[in-house]
Amino acid sequence: MNFKENPELEVLNHSCAHLLAQAVKHLYPQAKFWVGPVVEEGFYYDIDLGDEVIRDEDIPKIEKEMKKCAKDNKRIIRHEISRAEALQQFQDDPYKVDLINRMPEDTNISMYSQGDFTDLCRGPHVESTKLLKNFKLLKHSGAYWKGDKNNKVLQRIYGVCFPTDTELEAYLQVLEEAKERDHRKLGKDLKMFLFSETVGSGLPMWLPNGFTVRRLLSDYIMEKEIALGYEHVLTPSVASTKLYEVSGHLAHYQEDMFPIMERDGDSYVLRPMNCPEHMIIYKASLHSYRDLPVRIAEIAHDFRFEASGALTGIERSRSFTQNDSHIFLRPDQIAEEIKNVTKLILDVYNDFGFKDYSFRLSLRDLNNTDKYFGNDDLWTRSENELREVLKEMKVPYYEAEGEAAFYGPKIDVQVKSALGHDVTLSTIQLDYQLPERFELEYVNKDNQKVRPVVIHRAILGSLDRFVAFLLEETKGVLPLWLAPLQVEVIPVNSEAHGDYASKINRALKREGIRSHLDDRNEKLGYRIREAQMNKVPIQIVVGNRDIENETVTVRTYGSKEEVTHSFKDYLNQLVEQIAQKSRN
């Protein structure tokens, strides 16, 4: 749900932001207010409380005061004053003064009053505070004033408001469901990764369970790429600044890179992406037009200094691994190669059962062309080539200005995270610029040296972000082939059935199945429940009859049904199911 796209909810939530500010002013008379806009997920207000800090236990107190203000049923009245009068009225609030000073001198400024509270606002608002009673404050956080990390941190309180209590409760249930899907919670519960302030913000450490998933995903995508003619390489995660001067990253991307390191008179930097290194690899050999396309791929470790406020678990971090590739090709091969990459993306999404995604054609911002390099003709040509391929393939897409890379337009595949973030999962970028900057060549049919074109593409994108989305899509119930632990073997009684259970476990492991023997001296029900909580796809329970008949009793995740199989037959079935990478 996007509150900004619904006129009724937009007015209601903007009015409720003022109700929040009124209540905060009652409780914290020293409060000063920046802005309180409607956003996709409801509303927020940025507040300066001086030395006081909002804590979780303060939110119910603020909600109670908001309820009281709503119950007072004050009319919400719009009025206008001059800019000079507004500066006089808000002279003690530097945030409002800053807003007013950015308005034209001869303008009248609209304000809204409700009882003892008045605020600057364009409006519109609802007629009375009684219409704002169905609200909920959701969370609070710090936010830099004007989004500038050099400014003071204000306190941001988020909330939602609906016309009826029924609609509010339904929405809160959706949020609760999303919370259960949050990859940060699932990653912690399933012991997949962790963060430590001692290690550093935004630097994930992958635990054995998480690393297993990453390894399997790497093998999965590399096998697909090898079958399609990709050749894999390994390049360093640090390089000379000279490389990034040539590529243009130092001029166009340095704010998002880690600081430059000086050693022995040379300058180095952690790489934010892998295209410059791949350009050097291509350039190291002579190429004929017959050799193209050349597809260089890498599972590469990259670093970007994301703003602390943007860090979101492994969805957006400062250290991540990309399933990256650069395809060097002739201009006449562009359409076919982009089709092939698009087909690979769709093939992968089908394997994982992804359905809720959209294609975005990311174009440059024509009002701010300074942040891109290259000439207008090449940009227009590149954008049209991507557009035509999408049309020819009949792939539904939308266009977004300002989302292009600094060196070329992109096709991005967008998904919604459980937190409501619009996230890029896969990308295809068409680039005429870097081949020019690196002076790449191939020999054409006429024995002349000419420039190739480059397609930058990432199918899984960042492995970290892919895992985050996969956890959220499956609620942590990964498909059998990808689960860190595939089978939990549980003897009914450790003493009586332990030897047979151990034999089953060893046989599973010999076939490469990731199994574990839980022969602890705990009740059977407890061990089964724990396996379910850990989202282990299969639990094999063995007792007297299984020993007598050489069978296993199988229970799958999320089911209470138990089915008995010949162990030999079931083992063959399991091996085949894993090999086929079937979805559960």
Residue 324 bears catalytic tag:
yes
Is 182 tagged catalytic? no
What pLDDT score was predicted for residue 179? 85
What is the C-alpha radius of gyration for the chain, rounded to an integer number of angstroms? 29
Model confidence over 217-248: pLDDT tens digits?
A: 999 999 999 999 999 999 999 999 999 999 99
> Looking at the predicted structure, is the pLDDT value of residue 298 above 90?
yes
* Confidence category of residue 584, pLDDT binned at 50, 70, 90: low
Complete DSSP assignment for 492-516: SSHHHHHHHHHHHHHHHHHTT--EE
Q: Which of 156, 278, 304, 457 is catalytic?
A: 304
Report d(CA 175, CA 179) in Å as an integer.
6
DSSP type of residue 356: S
What residues are paired with 326 via a beta bridge? 296, 456
Q: Is 232 annotated as a binding residue?
A: no
Looking at the DSSP bridge assignments, the partners of residue 320 are 302
Transcribe 118-174 into DSSP letters: EEE------SBGGGG-SEEEEEEEEEEGGG-TTSPEEEEEEEEE-SSHHHHHHHHHH
pLDDT of residue 418: 74
Residue 103's φ and ψ, nearest 5 degrees, are -95, 150
Distance in Å from the first CA to the final CA of the chain: 29
pLDDT at 67 over 70: yes
Q: Kindly state the tokens that stand for 159.
A: 């909330």
pLDDT band at 10 (very low <50, low <70, confident <90, very high): very high
- pLDDT of 400 above 70: yes
High-pLDDT (> 70) share of the chain, %: 99
Closest of 461, 426, 463 to residue 213, by C-alpha? 463
- Distance (Å, rounded) from C-alpha 294 to C-alpha 330? 10
Q: Are strands 442-443 and 422-431 parallel, antiparallel or unpaired?
A: unpaired
Which residue in the list 324, 431, 464, 519 is annotated as catalytic?
A: 324
Domain ranges (residues) in the chain: 7-174, 188-474, 480-580
What distance in Å separates the CA atoms of residue 581 and residue 212, rounded to the nearest whole number? 15
C-alpha dihedral, 551 to 553 to 554 to 555, nearest 10°: 180
121 is in an annotated binding site: no
Cα–Cα distance, 508 to 495 (Å, whole number): 21
Alpha helices in 149-294 (DSSP H): 165-181, 183-189, 208-227, 241-247, 249-252, 275-283
- 502 vs 77: CA distance, rounded Å: 76
CATH class of 7-174: alpha beta
Q: Which of 456, 457, 497, 555 is catalytic?
A: 456
Q: Please say if 26 is a catalytic residue.
A: no
CA 88 to chain centre: 45
326 is catalytic: yes
Mean pLDDT calculated for residue range 487-494: 95
Between 486 and 420, the higher pLDDT residue = 486
- Has residue 133 got a pLDDT over 90? yes
Residue type, 137: L
What would the DSSP string read from start to end of 49-103? -TT----GGGHHHHHHHHHHHHHTT-BEEEEEEEHHHHHHHTTT-HHHHHHHHTS
Average pLDDT over residues 249-256: 88
pLDDT at 372 over 80: no
Q: Catalytic residue at 304?
A: yes
Catalytic residue among 69, 121, 161, 275: 275
Task: Assess contact for 532 and 557: CB atoms under 8 A.
Answer: yes
The answer to whether the Cα torsion of 468, 470, 476, 479 is positive or negative is negative
Half-sphere exposure for 236 (CA within 13 Å, toward CB): 8
**At a CB cut-off of 8 Å and minimum separation 6, what does 312 contact?**
184, 417, 419, 421
453-462/319-329 β-pairing: antiparallel
Say if residue 275 carries a ligand binding annotation.
yes
Name the most confidently modeled range: 302-311, 325-334, 352-361, 379-388.
325-334
Backbone dihedral angles phi then psi of residue 418, each to the nearest 5 degrees? -60, -25
Of the residues 18, 360, 364, 410, only one is catalytic, namely 410
| Residue-averaged pLDDT of the chain | 92
pLDDT, tens only, 530-557: 999 999 999 999 999 999 999 999 999 9
Could you give the angle at the alpha carbon of 98 between the alpha carbons of 80 and 11, nearest 5°? 50
Average pLDDT over residues 438-457: 96
pLDDT confidence of 108, banded at 50, 70, 90? confident
Q: What is the CATH number of domain 188-474?
A: 3.30.930.10
pLDDT of the residue at 549: 94
Q: What percent of the chain has pLDDT over 90?
A: 71
Whole-number pLDDT of residue 423: 87
pLDDT tens digit sequence for 333-342: 998 999 999 9
CATH class, 480-580 region: alpha beta
CA distance 482 to 558: 17
